[in-house]
Chain A
Amino acid sequence: MASTRARRRAFFASTAVLLLLVIFQVSGGIASGLRSTGGLIVSPFAWAINSVARPIGHVFSGALNYSEVVAQNKQLRYQLGQARLKLNERDAIERQLRDLSKAQDVPFLGSLPTITAQVNESSPTNFVASVGINKGISEGVLVGMPVVGNGGLIGRIVATTLHGSTIQLLTDASSSVGCTFGDGKTDAIVSGRGLNHALSVSSITLKASLAPGTVFSTNGLQGGLFPLGIPVAKVTSVSLTPGATTYDLRLKPAADLHHLAYVTIVAWEPGT
């Protein structure tokens, strides 16, 4: 009798769990609301824990890596100088490109409004490659908007709350981006394979010219998911299998996804 009751209970519990999963998956709207509520509940506790844990962590890492910090500081100063120099040169080129893009009626990243956000959460699990930022619906961030920074495409917004959003990184296994390279005549799909894995790319025939260092950038297709010309990935190695008709490529993201502090959200609504 008791075992029948236990079995019944187990059956109802598992059915409820299954229903819960399906309902939440089907109803994206409810899920978004629940995410916001969950975020609101956790955020004061997370803030309190961060206030205590961060300074302690900084003390330890500062004490252990002081010489590395000094070396990094020197390197950063040098890079800042170089970047300033390039910025001055780039202004003129950008202006020219903007004028050309306007004349051709092609959306150009430099002409699109952007929102700067701070990364406040690294991927909370290994199952997805994502990061959290401190800007959300109230600041004009919408699901689907591309996110750039650190030298290239970082990913896109997949969930938003009132004052926070989740970015699905380029390396996430469910991420894929339409790209082009070189003269722009060949299109390819660059996909993620998990946080610590190289990117994969759809077959590219040997007719196309490719070498290590070639940069893949968004092709503006895929129903306009991403604007044209954002650097996505860089070829790290090219190998040819005898008899094969396609390249065997290794790609890494153009942006450094491991050291994200600030990111730029491009106010680009897919399909526009």
Chain B
Amino acid sequence: MSLWVARVTVASIVLAALQVTVFSSVRVAGIVLMIIWLFTLIVGLHGGTPPALLAGFVTGSLFDAHVSTPFGLFTAVGLLIGFVAGQLGREGIGDFKAAVWWMPAMIGAAVGFFAPVVVVLGGMLVGNFTLWHGDLGGSMVVNAVAFGLLIQPLALVVRRLVGEVEGYRW
């Protein structure tokens, strides 16, 4: 097994544990910060599609184990974020080294804004029409602002956690 697979997997498990223990209690204006999405996004922009898909899958499925939403919903959203982030990183659009400094923040804000909508739409796809009640607007705004602000500092931590995974881009 490649080293990056082990590092991304372990980092994802730790992030999922942090999400369900710390970030579910520490809320901003009553809204849970979905740090696992931000982590997946950073892994994608930093290391390409395969590590991001792995991060999205591991964090998403472990998070699914803790919530009563349709099982697989957060896995699917994680995979989607991972794929989009990986592609943006590959194109150099959101690459931390190549892109302009504010581009990752903009991408973070966009992902934070639209990911809750994807959760709600995914829920509708499998017949759950109640997810939008959970402060959808608040989730979109708070996550967008937080992702935009936190993406650069968290990228430093993520780089330490998962190491250099360059060269695994699709």
Report whether chain A binds chain B: yes
Contact for A24 among B62, B63, B70, B79, CB less than 8 A: B70
**Chain B 35-52 against A: per-residue CB contact (8 Å), 1 yes, 0 no?**
000000000000000000
* Pairwise interchain contact B72-A45, C-beta atoms closer than 8 A: no
Contact of A128 among B16, B68, B75 (CB under 8 A): B68
Q: Given A21-B70, A53-B22, A193-B133, does the pair A126, B63 have CB atoms closer than 8 Å?
A: no
Whether A126 touches B135, Cβ cut-off 8 Å, given contacts A21-B122, A23-B72, A38-B61, is yes
Chain B residues near A37 (CB-CB < 8 A): 65
In Å, the complex CA distance between A41 and B16 comes to 10
A154 to chain B, nearest CB (A): 14
**From DSSP, what is the main secondary structure of chain B's interface residues?**
helix
Closest to A30 in B: B71
Which residues of A in the span 41-87 have a Cβ within 8 Å of any Cβ on B? Answer: 41-42, 45-46, 48-50, 53
- Asked whether A130 lies within 8 Å of B72 as measured between CB atoms, the reply is no
Cβ proximity bits A158-179 to B, threshold 8 Å, 1 near / 0 not: 1101000010100011100000
- Contact A20/B70 with A45-B13, A127-B131 known, Cβ cut-off 8 Å: no
Chain A interface main SS type: helix
CB-CB < 8 A to A132: which residues of B?
A: 66
Residues 228-256 of A contacting B (Cβ, < 8 Å): none
A102 and B17 alpha carbons, distance in the complex (Å): 47
Which of the 9-residue segments A116-124, A181-189, A214-222, A261-269 touches chain B? A116-124
Are the C-beta atoms of A49 and B65 separated by less than 8 Å?
no
> Which A residues fall within an 8 A CB radius of B?
6, 9-10, 13-14, 16-18, 20-25, 31, 34-39, 41-42, 45-46, 48-50, 53, 121-130, 132, 158-159, 161, 166, 168, 172-174, 193-197
Binding site for A on B (CB under 8 A): 13-14, 16-22, 24-25, 30-32, 34, 61-73, 75-76, 79-80, 83, 87, 116, 119-120, 122-123, 125-128, 130-131, 133-135, 138-139, 170
21 A-B pairs with CB atoms under 8 Å apart are A9-B170, A10-B83, A18-B125, A20-B75, A21-B122, A21-B125, A25-B127, A35-B71, A38-B66, A41-B65, A42-B17, A45-B13, A49-B14, A123-B24, A125-B69, A126-B32, A127-B120, A128-B69, A128-B134, A195-B30, A196-B135
